[in-house]
């Protein structure tokens, strides 16, 4: 029998005003809920511009405790609208200890918990290791009113291990709040391949684990006019066969509401029984950094 759930994706263009960004997120959540969304996901670090383009101690002032002011406001909104909210925030855990964290709030306004980003990049204009301590809560699944939500964050999306371990904990949907785009000077040469790789790897997680994938990006240019990052938008939902069900615009904010059928998970997994045929007795070396020839 069908088990329909409507997921909402709020793709945003950020400004340098956290309050304005938070207000835009609230408007997007309200729009998604009015169109029938039951679980709504925001982009990575939606309260601010993507500050990790530089190493600047001033940006630590953007961080907040979780639970804290943002989760309190979003809890009231979730309760008012009857929706689950997945919100990516800059967490201040203690003085000198910060995380890139996603908070999950159930449809009755209860704070269910948080996931701390496990894989932290350090690439040109993505200097996240300066700001974020790697997550120490493990891979998490949250039993919300409408579905079991597995939450990962951006750079996590490139790792099959993260998707697998989250799926093995019972996730129906893998949510990826994201901030990814092109370096404008590289776009002509590499842009199409970079975007295709990003999309394909996430769709493959849905196929390998027989679950839905929801990836929510930001859009617009941030940073220097002759450089910076051009976030490529194109937030999407894919089903357990890897088929894209809906995709947002490239260059503007967008709100998608997509109906998914959780019954497809059992159907897909029984026809393509990857979980059944896993050789768990043979995977011990997965915990090694690299397998050198003796």
Active-site amino acid positions: 44, 117, 154
**Residue 29 burial (CB count, 10 A):** 24
Which of 111, 142, 114, 145 minimizes the C-alpha distance to 38?
145
Q: Which spans in 118-246 are helix H?
A: 160-168, 187-209
DSSP symbol at 126: E
Instruction: Name 123's Cβ contacts closer than 8 Å, sequence gap at least 6.
Output: none
- What is the distance between the alpha carbons of residues 249 and 113, in angstroms, rounded to a whole number? 31
Asked whether 1 and 265 are in contact (CB, 8 A), the reply is no
Residue 190: left if φ>0, alpha if ψ -120 to 50, beta else—which one? alpha
Q: Which of 48, 43, 74 is nearest to 62 (CA)?
A: 48
Q: Residue 233 in contact with residue 248, Cβ under 8 Å? A: yes
- Cis-peptide into 67, omega within 30 deg: yes
- CA 151 to chain CA centroid, nearest Å: 6
How distant, in Å, are the alpha carbons of 103, 203, 261 from that of 210?
24, 10, 12
Give 258's strand partners. 7
4 in Cβ contact with 22 (< 8 Å): no
């Amino acid at each position: 029998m069908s088990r329909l759930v409507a997921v909402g994706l709020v793709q945003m263009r950020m400004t340098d005003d956290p309050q304005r960004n938070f207000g835009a997120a609230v408007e997007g959540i309200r729009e998604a809920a009015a169109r029938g969304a039951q679980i709504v996901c925001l982009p990575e670090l939606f309260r601010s511009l993507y500050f990790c383009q530089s190493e600047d101690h001033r940006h630590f002032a953007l961080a907040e405790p979780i639970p804290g002011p943002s989760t309190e406001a979003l809890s009231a909104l979730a309760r008012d609208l009857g929706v689950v909210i997945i919100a990516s925030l800059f967490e201040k855990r203690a003085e000198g200890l910060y995380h890139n964290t996603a908070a999950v709030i159930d449809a009755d306004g209860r704070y269910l918990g948080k996931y701390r980003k496990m894989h932290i990049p350090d690439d040109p204009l993505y200097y996240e290791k300066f700001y974020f301590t790697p997550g120490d809560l493990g891979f998490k699944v949250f039993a919300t009113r409408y579905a079991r939500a597995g939450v990962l964050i951006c750079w996590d999306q490139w790792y099959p291990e993260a998707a697998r371990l989250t799926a093995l904990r019972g996730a129906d949907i893998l949510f990826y709040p994201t901030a990814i785009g092109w370096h404008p000077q590289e776009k002509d040469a590499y842009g199409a391949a970079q975007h295709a790789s990003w999309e394909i790897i996430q769709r493959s997680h849905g196929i390998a684990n027989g679950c839905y994938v929801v990836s929510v990006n930001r859009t617009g240019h941030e940073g220097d006019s002759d450089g910076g990052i051009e976030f490529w938008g194109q937030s999407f939902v894919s089903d357990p066969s890897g088929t894209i069900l809906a995709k947002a615009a490239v260059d503007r904010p967008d709100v998608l509401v997509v109906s998914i059928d959780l019954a497809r998970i059992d159907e897909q997994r029984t026809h393509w029984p990857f979980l059944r045929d896993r050789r768990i007795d043979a995977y011990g070396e997965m915990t090694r950094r690299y397998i050198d020839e003796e």
